[in-house]
Amino acid sequence: MIVNCPDCNKPLIEFDIGSGNYHCANPKCNFQYIEIMSGKQHRKSITVEETGSEFDSLDRKPKRILVGLAIESSLLNMGHSIFDKVTSKLREDYDASVFDCLDNPQYLKRILDRNFNKNVGEVVVKSIKTVLGEFAYYESVREFLHHLAEEN
Ligand SMILES: [Zn+2]
């Protein structure tokens, strides 16, 4: 299914196949994402003006999903055993999932540091960076990548 941005007319990208949330990857475009199921549209400036203090949580939600999916796909590329280990450690140690990692990059970092050799951790971080590279114009994504790359 191809959905074009109502503002800039570029094809929208679905966050996760089947999620029904399509976002515009054009950094100059004001359009953020559309929820296909409800038809609800989210725009950068309108979100800020109309929702005021709710802006942060609304604005961060799609980025949590984005970062979570980037982590998932990077882990899966490394193999199912690594994926299983990291996701179960997130749950056991922090009662968290990959979707909590935007707000808590240290969770993922600690799990990688403690449970895998340095090379594995580096490859995972590099892969996440590659996947998220085109979204680094979002400050929250940039911050996440920055924290992930920090030395202990
Ligand atoms: Zn657009």
pLDDT per residue rounded down to tens, the chain (152 residues)? 678 999 999 999 887 778 888 999 888 888 989 988 888 888 876 444 444 444 455 578 889 999 999 999 999 999 999 999 999 999 999 999 999 999 999 999 999 999 999 999 999 999 999 999 888 888 899 999 999 988 65
Distance 8 CA to ligand 1 centre (A): 4
At 97 the three-state DSSP class reads: coil
Tell me the domain boundaries of the chain.
Answer: 13-51, 52-149
Give the whole-angstrom CA distance, residue 47 versus residue 136. Answer: 20
Distance 106 CA to ligand 1 centre (A): 33
In words, the CATH class of domain 52-149 is mainly alpha
Distance 18 CA to ligand 1 centre (A): 20
Q: In this structure, which residues have their CB less than 5 angstroms from ion ligand 1?
A: 5, 7-8, 24, 26, 29, 31
φ, ψ at 150 (rounded to 5°): -65, 145
Q: Retrieve residue 3's tokens.
A: 């959905």
Q: Are 140 and 60 in contact (CB under 8 A)?
A: yes
Q: Report the candidate in 120, 111, 106 with the shortest Cα–Cα distance to residue 87.
A: 111
* Radius of gyration in angstroms for the set of CA atoms belonging to the chain, rounded to a whole number: 16
The helix (H) or strand (E) run that includes residue 44 is helix 44-51
